[in-house]
Amino acid sequence: MRRYKVAIVGATGLVGQEFIKVLEQRSFPMESISLLASDRSAGKRMFVAHREIEVKETVPASFEGIDIALFSAGAETSRYFSPIAAQSGAVVIDNSAAFRMEPTVPLVVPEVNSEDIQWHKGIIANPNCSTIQMVVALYPLHKVNPIKRVIVDTYQSVSGTGSAAVEELTTQAKQVVNGQSTTPHVYPHQIAFNILPEIDVFLDNGYTKEEWKMIEETRKIMHADDIAISASCVRVPVFIGHSEAVHVEFSQSMSPDEARSILAQAPGVKVLDDPVISLYPQSWSAAGTDEVFVGRIRRDASHPRGLVMWIVADNIRKGAALNAVQIAEEMIKRDWIHPRGRKNEKIRTIADSHGNPL
Ligand SMILES: NC(=O)c1ccc[n+]([C@@H]2O[C@H](COP(=O)([O-])OP(=O)(O)OC[C@H]3O[C@@H](n4cnc5c(N)ncnc54)[C@H](OP(=O)(O)O)[C@@H]3O)[C@@H](O)[C@H]2O)c1
């Protein structure tokens, strides 16, 4: 079996550390691993499969000889280094929002659209965490009974913002309990014992960018441009695990039992749904697991063809690291690692080596 030279850009971050865990747990066929971060972490040492490895600063030469580069170091870093990595011959799987809506970049959730991997040109985008868990649950239902409209309200954990936000919630929670005042750094307001209806920047239309990502990315992944979608994305004082209340309008009426039985067979989904014993998905128990959990499935009292459900997943695993590693596994299994036409044509990346759009 062939083994691959893997690089993780952002290895010291929350997602980067989860990448290491997921690669180890799934026995990913690695020949070597390069741990890359900014100059701040250069020289730091981390363990991969009981071997101590030095973290290096990410520079253009970091990608020479690399087969697969897993990026999770923010959009700016991806915009600059991903085209360089792709030109060096690596396939980039990028966790940032930098390339997700580019028409030449596949945006992939393996349970939904793994076929899209085959037309990559050196960069594959990993969707936003809230979008991933929603489409894993909605797509199996959509295949049976096309979805017309989705209204989703999210309850997103602070780990979605990175390690600084996890620290901020920890610090503020202690301060509030001790009767001290708090000073927000990561978020515009205190997050401990509070709820913020603001994730990413506000757009001119009143939505936030996170909400707009859910709308656009869902349509691209499901190849369903005509689904009407509205989202409200909310940050809650939870460490790990995003939860979503999702209202779905189908083409035909669907009973909760039918939805439960479709979802019980769906890849990557686990149904937890028994009100009698208060069984439903919770962020606390979803943390550290791979599945997308669905429960509270019921008829929408406001629409004859509507269902309501509660969808929860670990945003660092299925919402980021696990989904990206699953893309890499699928690419290897289907022998789609070489971009189409790479032998005959120069790879058309969407930015030059300085990250400027072409
Ligand atoms: N957290 C989630 O749920 C989630 C989900 C999906 C996607 N993502 C995306 O994944 C990325 C990272 O998220 P995170 O939660 O892991 O953040 P994080 O904990 O703040 O970690 C950021 C990582 O990026 C590295 N980095 C920052 N600037 C860099 C640069 N100029 N060059 C190279 N490396 C650099 C940092 O290295 P240093 O240690 O040197 O600072 C660190 O390893 C973001 O794009 C985020 O949008 C996150």
pLDDT of the residue at 1 = 83
12 lines ligand 1 (CB under 6 A): yes
- 324 CA to middle of ligand 1, Å? 14
pLDDT of the residue at 354 = 52
pLDDT of the residue at 343 = 41
Residue 93: half-sphere exposure toward Cβ, Cα within 13 Å: 29
Hey, which residues does 208 pair with through a beta bridge? 202
pTM for the model stands at: 0.94
Residue 125: half-sphere exposure toward Cβ, Cα within 13 Å: 26
Mutate to test the pocket of ligand 1, among 15, 44, 92 (most ligand atoms within 8 A of CB): 15
Quote the distance between the C-alpha of residue 23 and its chain's center.
Answer: 16
Q: Quickly tell me which residue has 């004859």 as its tokens.
A: 304
Residue 91, token pair as written in the block: 């396939």
pLDDT tens string, the chain, 358 residues long: the values are: 899 999 999 999 999 999 999 999 999 999 999 999 999 999 999 999 999 999 999 999 999 999 999 999 999 999 999 999 999 999 999 999 999 999 999 999 999 999 999 999 999 999 999 999 999 999 999 999 999 999 999 999 999 999 999 999 999 999 999 999 999 999 999 999 999 999 999 999 999 999 999 999 999 999 999 999 999 999 999 999 999 999 999 999 999 999 999 999 999 999 999 999 999 999 999 999 999 999 999 999 999 999 999 999 999 999 999 999 999 999 999 999 987 544 434 444 555 555 554 4
- Catalytic site includes residue 247: no
* Ligand 1 nearest-atom number relative to CA 39: 40
pLDDT of the residue at 347 = 44
243 lines ligand 1 (CB under 6 A): no
Q: Yes or no: say if 33 and 9 are a contact pair by the CB < 8 Å rule.
A: no
What phi and psi, each to the nearest 5 degrees, are found at residue 152?
A: -125, 135
pLDDT of the residue at 102 = 97
7 lines ligand 1 (CB under 6 A): no
Q: Which of 69, 173, 75 is nearest to 124 (CA)?
A: 69
Q: Is 61 exposed, middle or buried (0-12, 13-18, 19+ CB in 10 A)?
A: exposed
110 lines ligand 1 (CB under 6 A): no
Q: Yes or no: say if 156 and 196 are a contact pair by the CB < 8 Å rule.
A: no
pLDDT of the residue at 356 = 52
Contacts of 221 (CB under 8 A, 6+ apart): 107, 108, 109, 112, 113, 127, 131, 135
